[in-house]
Chains A and B, each alone.
Chain A
Amino acid sequence: MPAFRIKRQEGDDGVALQLIESEGDLPPWGPNEALSVVGHPYPRLEGREKVSGRAIYASDIRLPGQLYGKVLRSPYPRARITRLDVSRAEAAPGVHAVLSMLNAPPIGWYQEGQLFESTVRLVGDEVAAVAAESEEQAEDALRLIEVAYEPLPFVTTIAAALAPDAPKVHESGNIAGEPVIYERGDPEAGLRQADVVIDERYETPCALHNALEAHGGTAFWDGDQLTLWDSTQAVFVVREEVARAVGLPEHRVRVIKHHMGGGFGAKQIAWKVDVIASLLSKLAGRPVQLILDREAENLVSGNRNPTRQRVRLGARRDGTLTAIVAEIAQAAGAYRTGGEASDVSGTYQSLYRCPNVRTEQTAVYINAGPAVAFRAPGFVEGAAALEQAMDELARALEIDPVELRRRNYSEVDQPSGKPYTLPEGLRLSYDRVTEAFGWQDRPRPSSSGTKRRGTGFAAHDWVGGGGHDPGYAWIEMNADGTVEVITGTQDIGTGTRTGLAQIAAEELGLPLEQITLRLGDTGVGPYSPVSSGSATQATIGPAVRAAAVDLKRQVLDVAAALLEVSAVRLSIEDGKVLVDGDPERAVALSEVTEKIAPHMLQARGCRAPNPEDKAVRTFGAQCVEVEVDTETGTIDILRLATSHDCGRIVNPTMVDSQVIGGITQGIGFALMEERVVDDRLGIVLNANLEDYYVPTVADAPPIAHAPVDVPDLAANSTGAKGIGEPPLIPTAPAIANAVYDAIGIRIREYPLSRQRVLAALAAAGQGEARS
């Protein structure tokens, strides 16, 4: 059973208690420990369900009497609703409930708004919702809702929002919160001391998550019990936020997520759609399924904030960085959501050793969809600029770009001053990726012809991957010796089920087939945090291991009584209890558990805090070779090598899949993904999968993954860290650097679309002059 101590602190806001739990002082699995399940490839436990079409997602729920919800959305980027009449919709065939500001309870939403308001601030803002017997009837009913809008002036770009006399998105103005300023040393002096200064501006686009499964779910408000089958990365977060919004106690709200069709960060909070579905169900007295259509998904349910970044780097002739200064503006959209912050500044402060650093990050409101975490939020945008700037610096200094980074290596998390748990993680990434790619002997760019090849490099760090407390797992052992691991975490498609089962199997000495995971249900498992920040394996893995250690102790106590030997002489291997020095006496685990049935052995594990004196981070680096066609602007990625420190690799198959998947999204971010808004109309022109291009199979290049695979023994008892987000971070700048290498032109605005490449070539006089 978990032990804890309590830290009490009295502050201005009253008393704060911090519960510090213990995993039971487990020594981590050693670097050379022979592990039989962990570290080995296994197919996903839910594979069979997913390939047979039987995996149940939120939109697959079918309940008796189920209704279908649809939402009426604002066609204007900013307007006042002067009249709203839902009476015809209420009377329409099949309609059971209509929800709007006329009858919805006052529920605060986002940091600035309400569930329904008389002011709309983006195209897609919720105006009313309908539940009807079919989707078609719900859609018909929406057309019967009469709304009169008084359109108001609006802004859709950072520049427009910051202009004097700009229309205000909110009455408080267009600056969202206070600018976040970080400074160490004397950055201006550092720039003065520099032999070389790079001073450039970069822009990253608004990228749309486009998880194939849209936000939404199926809600059933039955009496005083609400059950919500939701597409979410965080069943407990959704429970808390929905319960608070609709005024139910937490034990009356159950949130279930069996399987999820992708989240990529956008599903780590509750969204309006969850509350609207719940309230429609309450009104109708029937289950309501409300899934966003693709357009709404792309308008209102989050995006990667567009940024404009001015970066100044100062360095001595030998490459030593003397200053890093970044001024960052990011568009928050019309509202600020919760969840992981988009910390664009973070990587500037930590990736390279530098005594003088200043970052200033300002979030700006615009009349467009709210930004939310998107796979390594902030770091992707920051790296896109910083890692091009480092390449520019390397060129200016005539130092190999990898060598420049090695010369500015930090083994310490500089903002906190704490050493990294695996200080060599980034260095090992450099070593392995350059070797796998053949960086030293890389082909030199050709300077003639229309097909130019070039190579590029980029590194990254990431604040996530280390996991954190709290998080819980229980294990029950059945009478036949099989095991159920129960936890309130969720598998969002990353392989969590499989990875956690491997931890349990390893510790218990059981084959993987004897483990079942029960997760994704607040009604079943104990609290676990949101699956974000590449945290899940590193957060819940140690909790599972702690529970397994406890359970094993109990089983061995029982076995000791059965076998009449001391428990210290017993171990479990491949489902058998072995007696040290007496192989003849081995018994199947089931023989032990059957002796005590129907008594059940059970254990609880928790996740203790990360080490106080060290910083847990993840690192990686990528090399890429491209070919650029100087006449057509085509960029072909010929090959890409990548290396990542994610601590111990629990399942190489899952890690490889995360790596190639993240890089594929990175290629999209680098080359094609960009929300396009008409600034005169305030309309998103490509809120779909036709004009918002995401990579197809034809866009995915060969990827060589050279893992670091060194257990991070100081991080947690499994030595494993997360890999979900990191692979995406360095991809775009690595590609941009390779494009520069190929054609000698810097493109500092992402994505590097054909339009931008050809325009840059024309401006440089390399392509045909623009007429």
Chain B
Amino acid sequence: MRAFAYASPRSLDEAIALLDGAGDGHAGGTRLLAGGTDLLTLMQADLIAPERLVDIKRLAELDDRIEDGAEGLTIGALATLAELEEDPFVQSRYPILAEAAGLAATPQLRNMATLGGNLLQRPRCWYFRDSRVHCWLKGGDLCYARGGENQHHALFDVSPCVAVHPSDPAVALLALDARVRLRGPSGEREISLGSFFAPPEDGRRKETTQADNEVIVAVRIPPRHADARGVYLKAMERKAWAFALVSVAAVLRLEAGRIAEVSVALGGVAPAPWHARDAEQVLVGAESSADLFARAADAALTGAGALAKNGYKLPLAKALLRRALADLTGQPVD
């Protein structure tokens, strides 16, 4: 790891001021340090070399509170994944979120990693993570995964980069229609998670639309019908401690046997958590059945084209989605 300076500002505004003009390239600039579980690996691998780290863990304006209120559930950006996993209210009202947090990483990483940092973590693509490879996402010309070892990569071709977003909680939060509260030099704004994440594009080679001088303050889950249920399923290459090959988050409410509300998100299929609107359209208003779920699963993957080595993700994603829906509606799996 290269040398850097360490600063502990007294206020969030002071921290944000330090971010002004911060570059997003390899060298220089200022980075915020909270849990550090992604930041330090990026630095250890020499993918970034900031001049300064700014500790934001002890700022009064940021917290790890998980609070339910009229506006729904508000989660402070510093809440750790372990706190999400263990919070009794989250467990009872948003088990999908507790499950997603609990399936992420390991106990130690969940004790360290904050929700804000989890949303902002960079892809695990092994080309991106190799300092010897100057890939498109790092400012180069070529996505090496496209024609290379892309078994872990995206099904949806929506960016020059085919890395997948690694977060588990983000997929659950997308299915919960969560919103992100950001603070910048001119105050706060709240945007949907769906617009917070965006596949990287020329001029914005990162996975979010957050400005370089903005800080995530909180994540809010709007209130929802008490009967809505959610589930998060994750397929890994081993039984634990791996990033999702594919994951599915589904939130659903039945009313008189019909699907009154449904929200479906997929992980491991795109550079950003994927909102499967096509599947929702198939499902909403319909009566639950194995056949319906199969059609929804097909719809969810509409437009998904396999790379040379990730074709297995298509049946995998469909199977996970069918199972999630069956689980939520009490249908037999087969």
Q: Does A681 contact B (CB under 8 A)?
A: yes
Query: Of residues 294 to 334 in B, which have CB atoms within 8 Å of A's CB atoms?
Result: 306, 309-312, 314-316, 318-320, 322-323, 333-334
Q: Does A771 contact B (CB under 8 A)?
A: yes
Q: How far is the CA of A148 from the CA of B245 in the complex (A)?
A: 39
Query: Of residues 514 to 569 in A, which have CB atoms within 8 Å of B's CB atoms?
Result: none
Interface string of B104-137 (1 = CB under 8 A from A): 0000000000000000000010110010110000
Residue pair A699, B238 in contact (C-beta under 8 Å): yes
Contact of B124 among A676, A690, A761, A762 (CB under 8 A): A690
* A690–chain B nearest beta-carbon distance, Å: 7
Q: Does B203 contact A (CB under 8 A)?
A: no
Q: How far is the CA of A123 from the CA of B144 in the complex (A)?
A: 17
Residue pair B235, A678 in contact (C-beta under 8 Å): no
Q: Does A657 contact B (CB under 8 A)?
A: no
Contact of B239 among A449, A450, A681, A698 (CB under 8 A): A698
Q: How far is the CA of A754 from the CA of B315 in the complex (A)?
A: 11
Residue pair A758, B316 in contact (C-beta under 8 Å): yes
Q: Does B59 contact A (CB under 8 A)?
A: no
* B156–chain A nearest beta-carbon distance, Å: 13
Q: Does B159 contact A (CB under 8 A)?
A: no
A701 (CB) vs chain B CBs: closest residue: B239
Residue pair B316, A685 in contact (C-beta under 8 Å): no
Q: Does A364 contact B (CB under 8 A)?
A: no
* A747–chain B nearest beta-carbon distance, Å: 13
Mostly helix, strand, loop or mixed at chain A's interface? loop
Q: How far is the CA of A635 from the CA of B316 in the complex (A)?
A: 14
Q: How far is the CA of A123 from the CA of B1 in the complex (A)?
A: 20
Q: How far is the CA of A699 from the CA of B240 in the complex (A)?
A: 8
Chain A residues within 8 Å of B130, by CB? 683, 685
Q: Does A262 contact B (CB under 8 A)?
A: no
A696-B334 contact in complex given A754-B316, A771-B306, C-beta closer than 8 Å: no
A678 (CB) vs chain B CBs: closest residue: B148
Q: Does A414 contact B (CB under 8 A)?
A: no
Q: How far is the CA of A416 from the CA of B314 in the complex (A)?
A: 53
Chain B residues within 8 Å of A139, by CB? 1
A754-B237 contact in complex given A685-B130, A770-B314, C-beta closer than 8 Å: yes
Q: How far is the CA of A754 from the CA of B309 in the complex (A)?
A: 12
Residue pair A698, B240 in contact (C-beta under 8 Å): yes
Query: Of residues 138 to 184 in B, which have CB atoms within 8 Å of A's CB atoms?
Result: 144, 147-149, 151-152
Q: Does A632 contact B (CB under 8 A)?
A: yes
Q: Does A693 contact B (CB under 8 A)?
A: yes
Chain A residues within 8 Å of B144, by CB? 678, 680-681
Contact of A672 among B3, B238, B334 (CB under 8 A): B238
The total of chain B residues at the interface (CB under 8 A) is: 38
Chain B residues within 8 Å of A762, by CB? 311-312, 315
* B268–chain A nearest beta-carbon distance, Å: 12
Residue pair A140, B311 in contact (C-beta under 8 Å): no
Interface string of A745-771 (1 = CB under 8 A from B): 000000001110011011000011011
Residue pair A631, B319 in contact (C-beta under 8 Å): yes
Residue pair A754, B306 in contact (C-beta under 8 Å): no
Contact of B312 among A450, A699, A755 (CB under 8 A): A755
Number of cross-chain contacts by CB at 8 Å: 99
Mostly helix, strand, loop or mixed at chain B's interface? loop
Contact of B1 among A136, A683, A695, A699 (CB under 8 A): A136
Contact of A450 among B2, B127, B333 (CB under 8 A): B333
Q: Does A634 contact B (CB under 8 A)?
A: yes
Query: Of residues 236 to 263 in B, which have CB atoms within 8 Å of A's CB atoms?
Result: 237-242, 245
A679 (CB) vs chain B CBs: closest residue: B148
Chain B residues within 8 Å of A753, by CB? 237
A680 (CB) vs chain B CBs: closest residue: B148
B41 (CB) vs chain A CBs: closest residue: A690
Q: Does A610 contact B (CB under 8 A)?
A: no
Q: How far is the CA of A552 from the CA of B32 in the complex (A)?
A: 70
Q: Does A652 contact B (CB under 8 A)?
A: no
Contact of A755 among B3, B151, B318 (CB under 8 A): B151
Residue pair A140, B2 in contact (C-beta under 8 Å): yes
A632-B319 contact in complex given A685-B130, A771-B306, C-beta closer than 8 Å: yes
Q: How far is the CA of A755 from the CA of B306 in the complex (A)?
A: 13
Residue pair A768, B237 in contact (C-beta under 8 Å): no
Contact of B149 among A685, A759, A770 (CB under 8 A): A685
* B103–chain A nearest beta-carbon distance, Å: 11
A690 (CB) vs chain B CBs: closest residue: B124
A696-B237 contact in complex given A450-B333, A450-B334, C-beta closer than 8 Å: no
Residue pair A685, B132 in contact (C-beta under 8 Å): no
Q: Does A691 contact B (CB under 8 A)?
A: yes
Q: Does A339 contact B (CB under 8 A)?
A: no
Interface string of B72-87 (1 = CB under 8 A from A): 0000000000000000
Residue pair A631, B151 in contact (C-beta under 8 Å): no
Q: How far is the CA of A770 from the CA of B323 in the complex (A)?
A: 19
Chain B residues within 8 Å of A693, by CB? 237-238, 242
Residue pair B334, A449 in contact (C-beta under 8 Å): yes
Q: How far is the CA of A693 from the CA of B152 in the complex (A)?
A: 13
* A484–chain B nearest beta-carbon distance, Å: 41
Query: Of residues 445 to 475 in A, which have CB atoms within 8 Å of B's CB atoms?
Result: 449-450
B311 (CB) vs chain A CBs: closest residue: A770
Query: Of residues 3 to 20 in B, which have CB atoms within 8 Å of A's CB atoms?
Result: 3
Residue pair B151, A758 in contact (C-beta under 8 Å): no
Q: Does A287 contact B (CB under 8 A)?
A: no
Chain B residues within 8 Å of A143, by CB? 2
Q: How far is the CA of A123 from the CA of B152 in the complex (A)?
A: 23
- Residue numbers of A with Cβ under 8 A of B are 75, 123, 136, 139-140, 143, 449-450, 631-634, 671-672, 676, 678, 680-681, 683, 685-686, 690-691, 693, 695-699, 753-755, 758-759, 761-762, 767-768, 770-771
Known: A632-B320, A683-B132. 13 other contacts (CB 8 A): A136-B3, A631-B322, A634-B235, A672-B237, A676-B149, A678-B144, A678-B148, A685-B130, A698-B239, A699-B240, A755-B309, A768-B315, A771-B306
11 interchain pairs, CB-CB under 8 A:
A631-B316, A631-B322, A632-B319, A681-B132, A681-B144, A691-B126, A696-B240, A698-B239, A698-B240, A699-B239, A759-B312
